[in-house]
Structure 1
Amino acid sequence: MLPPELTEAAARLFGDRLDLAAAYAELLVTDGVVRGLIGPREAPRIWDRHLLNCAVVGELIPTDATVIDVGSGAGLPGLVLAIARPDLQVTLLEPLARRTAFLAEAVETLGLHDSVQVLRGRAEEVAAGPDPVRGDVVTARAVAPLDRLAAWCLPLAVLGGRLVALKGASAAEEVVEHASAVHRLGGAEPVLRRCGEGIVDPPTVVVEIVRDRMVGPTPRASAKKTRASRSRHRR
């Protein structure tokens, strides 16, 4: 149930799709807990720690963008963004079968199949495959340190696209430690963002990296190709 003190923030972020967000929250605290995707201790904090924390990242994503959510897990932040931003086309990329099964069921239950696809695979394999998927924005939450994350995620972004990584208290240290590795991988200087100022407390800490160069053998691709490949990868 949505805590009363969070109602205003939730309504601001989800608008007329707040009921859909509530239905997703219910899936997370029931089936998501039973299937081990969400810890039982997280259930009382599902709105502030997970849904609102993810939804505010939408302020960094342009209108009508294609989004690839790497290591999507229970759909955080990918499914949250798809609910809050119906203009987006979202691919939930997840290597584990039990998680992709949950995601596919959630997409069907929530009626999001027109804007969301579930794709089972690892980021590095999808990026290097014969029919690679690309997005305007690549998101990741609590997946890996910034250097490994950039290696996996930047090749999934179109040239000029961005990696948007949700991070915690160590974000500033990671930026300093891994900036040179990010540069070698084709990324511009990592930028620390704080999303949801005045909406959530504390704001969500994000590291944003623009893919500004091609490195290695990865072919140039466009967001248009991402949309065209959706039907071939839809599950």
Structure 2
Amino acid sequence: MQVSFKEKIKEMLAEIGINLTDRQVETIKSYIDMLLETNREMNLTAINEEGEIWRKHVIDSLLVFCAAEISSGARVIDVGSGAGIPGIILKIYRPDLNLTLLEAQRKKIIFQEEAVAKLGLKNIKCLWSRAEEAGRLEEHREKYDVAVARAVAPLNILVEYCLPLVKVGGLMIAYKGPSVDEELKAAEKAIAILGGDQPEVWRGHLPGGEEERRLIKIKKSTKTPTNYPRRAGMPTRKPLK
């Protein structure tokens, strides 16, 4: 990696108050190389230019630390993790996190497992499961301090995937674009049913461009009723409203 490119990345990160060590930059670069190589045969990302992956995947993922305080050693689950974004990026930046990558497609889990092994990441689990099923398992239900989800589903569906996994007092964080008002309104009833408080919205933009970003934060104040999440597919077919 050229020094000038590395410095450009660090400058963009500095805009959001994030500092990566050279080793962290190299680890993320190794992950990106794996992502691009595998992407030739498997659809992991629509972005195939390294600089844009840094900006639209890596830096975008790290915006969560601008929006919320995540305590040392927190148990975090990345719901619908895909190729491991944002979870793997969060783990490289914050090695103290106890991370679970939740993904329903087996081929993506296989990629995650290979990436985690090659990058030497510890205290990270790749869980092959649908969110509706994981949310009913004793070892995962209401066990996480934070659930994050990026580009997975509309908010009224997403809360049924995430909130059952979050412990009371914990936090769900959804990565979104600028138009969140309609999603928030449509999700009001679902959030209340599933134990969430009134959402808070962090508003910012992606360095190196004009893209606006919104991170929706929902604190969990009460336990999720035992009949949620509903069986696999139901949150998508019949969202709570």
TM-score grouping bracket, smaller chain normalisation: 0.7 to 0.9
TM-score normalised by length of structure 1? 0.83
Q: What residue number does 2:239 align with?
A: none
> What is the 5 A alignment of 1:21-170?
21-39=28-46, 41=48, 43-59=50-66, 60=68, 61-112=70-121, 114-133=122-141, 134-170=143-179
- CA RMSD in angstroms comes to 2.5
Q: Distance in 2 between matches of 1:18 and 1:203?
A: 24
User: What percent of counterpart residues are identical?
Assistant: 35
1:5 to 8, 18, 35: 8
Q: Which residue of 2 aligns with 1:182?
A: 191
Structure 2 unaligned residues grouped into runs of 5+ = 229-241
Does the CA-based 8 Å contact 1:172-1:192 persist in structure 2? no
Q: TM-score, normalised by structure 2?
A: 0.81
Question: Aligned partners of 1:4, 1:30: CA distance in 2, in Å?
Answer: 24
Structure 2 contact 76–147 (Cα < 8 Å) conserved: yes
**Cα distance in structure 2, aligned partners of 1:88 and 1:131:** 18
Q: Would the aligned equivalents of 2:178 and 2:213 in 1 still touch at CA under 8 Å?
A: no
The one-letter code of the counterpart of 1:178 is: A
Question: Paired residue for 1:15?
Answer: 21
Larger mean Cα displacement after TM superposition, 63-72 or 202-211 = 202-211
Question: How many positions carry a matched residue from both structures?
Answer: 218
The one-letter code sitting in structure 2 at the alignment partner of 1:15 is: T
Q: Tell whether the 8 Å contact from 2:146 to 2:166 is kept in structure 1 after alignment.
A: yes
Q: Distance in 1 between matches of 2:170 and 2:208?
A: 26
Amino acid at match of 1:171: V
The CA distance in 1 between the partners of 2:124 and 2:217, in whole Å, is 23
Q: CA deviation at 1:42?
A: 5.5
| Aligned amino acid, residue 20 of structure 2 | F
Contact 1:33/1:40, CA 8 A, preserved across alignment: no
CA pair 164-193 structure 1, distance change in 2 beyond 3 A: same
SS of 2:167 mapped into structure 1 = strand
Query: What whole-Å deviation, never above 9, does each CA across 1:18-53 have from its counterpart, x for those lacking one?
Result: 111111121222223432111254655101111110
Q: Which AA in structure 1 matches 2:44?
A: L
Change in CA separation of 1:145 and 1:215 when aligned onto 2, cut-off 3 Å:
same
